[in-house]
């Protein structure tokens, strides 16, 4: 079984409020994150505005809080240990930090602190002049050639997220991304959708954030994982060198398509997304149509998943 955790874009106001109100174990997670970052994040998640929540420095620890509340409730209330039940864990971008936390590699409070700082560092790294665009309906090899032809010494564009055969995100300077998007459409892409983001994430324009994040990671305790983590940057099962891999993740592509194909090659047949939406399951369905997909994002789904685990 593969447990996956989402990145930015899957958040919504009110996420996790039902489990927060129902279980002390969930409340403990939200409060621990609040305390770790010295900010009333829970109130923002439940009662704030979408505009404030989607800020990079807020949404990163917010998604951690949601997913880890679900993980903790599964463990404490239903007797289902995510790490124990998994073959691998993986996360999309910031979700990889959640995977490490769920795998008990990094503590919840440390992970929250890292993600708050990571979000701020990413927002500050390249505040203007960068963008991202989702290219729909063009394969990665064809897009790679187009991107290479549009990049120059002064204008960066690169593949940021290889999400599926049908969806690839490019990132970089505005003019270079526009040029690459036009080239992709001319080459047969169905759509080029410019994303509402606060920076050109997973590109070399994020290099100013690497030093800050590496410094924080160097001071953080990393324990041995209980189960391997499929890394964003290698798309392979990893059991160490997480500081280096997470630092590289800032400027390198998220290899999600390859990660799912790797899990499939290791005979994984069930993918469980612990997040407020079904974003990663939608991508996984396109990559591996035969894989069983399960979403854990509410009390009802927690109960349903626990029954599945009991039945095994």
Position 312 scores a pLDDT of 57
Entry pTM:
0.97
Condensed to tens digits (0 to 9), the pLDDT of residues 255-296 reads 999 999 999 999 999 999 999 999 999 999 999 999 999 999
Q: What's the average model confidence in pLDDT over 55-61? A: 94
Domain 2-125+205-311, CATH among 3.60.15.10, 3.40.50.10320, 3.90.930.12, 3.40.366.10: 3.40.366.10
Q: What's the average model confidence in pLDDT over 123-147? A: 95
Q: What is the DSSP letter of 225?
A: P
Catalytic residues: 93, 202
Condensed to tens digits (0 to 9), the pLDDT of residues 2-21 reads 999 999 999 999 999 999 99
Is the model's pLDDT at 126 over the cut of 60?
yes
Position 310 scores a pLDDT of 86
Instruction: Compute the half-sphere exposure of residue 49: CA atoms within 13 Å on the CB side of its CA.
Output: 3
Condensed to tens digits (0 to 9), the pLDDT of residues 205-263 reads 999 999 999 999 999 999 999 999 999 999 999 999 999 999 999 999 999 999 999 99
| Alpha carbon distance 202, 132 (integer Å) | 10
- As given in the structure block, the two tokens for residue 246 are 């997470």
> Considering the chain, what is the average pLDDT of its residues?
96
- As given in the structure block, the two tokens for residue 179 are 């040029």
Position 280 scores a pLDDT of 98
Give the pLDDT band (50/70/90) at residue 198: confident
- Among 8-12, 27-31, 34-38, the minimum mean pLDDT is found in 8-12
Q: What is the 3-state secondary structure (H, E, C) of 223-284?
A: CCCCCCEECCCCCCEECCCHHHHHHHHCCCCECHHHHHHHHHHCCCCEEEEECCCCHHHHHH
Torsion-angle region of 14 (φ positive above 0: left; ψ -120 to 50: alpha; else: beta) = left
| Alpha carbon distance 213, 65 (integer Å) | 20
CA distances from 309 to 67, 81, 207, 247, 276 (A): 18, 10, 42, 35, 21
Domain ranges of the chain: 2-125+205-311, 130-197
Condensed to tens digits (0 to 9), the pLDDT of residues 153-197 reads 889 999 999 999 999 999 999 999 999 999 999 999 999 999 988
Quickly name the fold that domain 130-197 has: Alpha-Beta Plaits (3.30.70)
């Amino acid at each position: 079984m593969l447990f996956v955790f989402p990145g930015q874009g899957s958040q919504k106001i009110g996420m996790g409020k039902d489990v927060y109100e129902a279980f002390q174990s969930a409340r403990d997670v939200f409060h621990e994150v609040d305390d770790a970052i010295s900010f009333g994040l829970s109130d923002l998640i439940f009662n704030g505005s979408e505009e404030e929540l989607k800020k990079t420095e807020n949404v990163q620890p917010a998604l951690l809080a949601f997913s880890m509340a679900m993980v903790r409730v599964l463990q404490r209330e239903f007797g289902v240990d995510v790490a124990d039940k998994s073959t691998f864990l993986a996360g999309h971008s910031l979700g990889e930090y959640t995977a490490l936390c769920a795998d008990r590699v990094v503590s919840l409070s440390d992970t929250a602190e890292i993600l708050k700082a990571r979000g701020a560092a990413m927002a500050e790294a390249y505040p203007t002049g960068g963008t991202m665009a989702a290219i729909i309906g063009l394969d990665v090899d064809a897009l790679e050639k187009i991107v290479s032809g549009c990049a120059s010494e002064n204008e960066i564009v690169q593949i940021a997220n290889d999400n599926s055969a049908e969806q690839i995100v490019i990132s970089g300077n505005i003019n270079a991304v526009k040029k690459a998007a036009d080239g992709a459409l001319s080459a047969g892409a169905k759509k080029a959708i410019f994303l509402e983001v606060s920076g050109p994430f997973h590109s070399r324009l994020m290099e100013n954030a690497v030093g800050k994040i590496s410094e924080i990671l160097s001071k953080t305790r990393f324990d041995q994982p209980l189960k391997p983590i499929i890394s964003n940057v290698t798309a392979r099962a990893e059991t160490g060198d997480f500081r280096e891999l997470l630092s590289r993740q800032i400027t390198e592509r998220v290899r999600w398509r390859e990660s799912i194909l790797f899990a499939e090659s290791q005979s994984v047949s069930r993918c469980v997304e612990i997040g407020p939406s079904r974003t990663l399951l939608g991508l996984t369905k396109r990559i591996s149509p035969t894989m069983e997909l399960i979403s854990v994002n509410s009390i009802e789904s927690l109960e349903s998943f626990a029954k599945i685990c009991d039945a095994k």
